Structure 1
C-alpha cells in the first residue's frame, strides 16, 4: 500500500490547494477531511489535487462529495483512471468541477 499523504498550500486569490497522494480507504480518508477542516484560513475555493491518488475507495469518494456539498470545491486533474472509473460508475463524476490548473475561472 502506498502511504497516503495530504499537504495544503495557499494560492493567490483565496484558493487553497489540498494535494493528495497514495492510497485512501476507510482508515486513511480522515487525513483529507482533517486537512480541509482544521486549517484556520478560509478559502474562497478549495481545490483537491487528486492526480497522485493511486487508489481511493468509496469512503474517499464520500468525503469528496461531503466536502463539495459544504464549500466551493474543484478537483485538479486529470483524474487517475481508478478514481475516474469509480466516479463514473457511481454517477458522481458530473457533480465535480475538474480542472487542469489551480487558477479560478474569471
Structure 2
C-alpha cells in the first residue's frame, strides 16, 4: 500500500520488462518489447538493440506488449531512429503516445501494424 493516498503508480508493482530480438530476412531485425520500461529498465532495450542487432539497417520495434514507457524509453527510440531506419509496430502505450505528441517527435517515427509472432 502506498504511503501517499491517491498517488497514481506509487507502490504499484511494475510488470517485468522483456526484450526479444528476432533476425529478419535481409539486413533487419525485429525487437519485441513487453512490460514496463522506465529509467531503471530501459537499458535492457538499449542493450538488445546495440549488442544483439548492431548491424541491422532496419529495426522493427514491436511495442504492442509494452504496458508502460516513460521519457527514457522515448529517448532510446529517438537515438535508434537517428542511427538507422526504425519502424514502431503495434499500438503505442498511452504514456509514450502522449509524450511523443507533446515533444513533437511522433512525426519522425514510422509506425505500422504489430508484427506476427515468430
What TM-score do you get using the length of structure 1 for normalisation? 0.88
SS of residue in 1 equivalent to 2:75? helix
The runs of 4+ residues in structure 1 deviating greater than 6 Å are none
Distance 2:66 2:59 in 1: 17
Count of residues in correspondence between the two structures:
102
Higher relative contact order (CA 8 A, sep 6+): 1
Cα distance, 1:72–1:23 mapped onto 2, change above 3 Å = same
Alignment of 1:1-106 (within 5 A): 1-39=14-52, 42-100=55-113
Decide which moves more: 40-49 or 9-18. Answer: 40-49
State the 1:51 CA deviation: 0.9
RMSD of aligned Cα (Å): 1.5
SS of residue in 1 equivalent to 2:48? helix
Unaligned runs of 5+ in 2: 1-13
Cα distance, 1:2–1:40 mapped onto 2, change above 3 Å = closer
Kept in 1, the 8 Å contact 2:34–2:65? The answer is yes
State the 1:32 CA deviation: 0.5
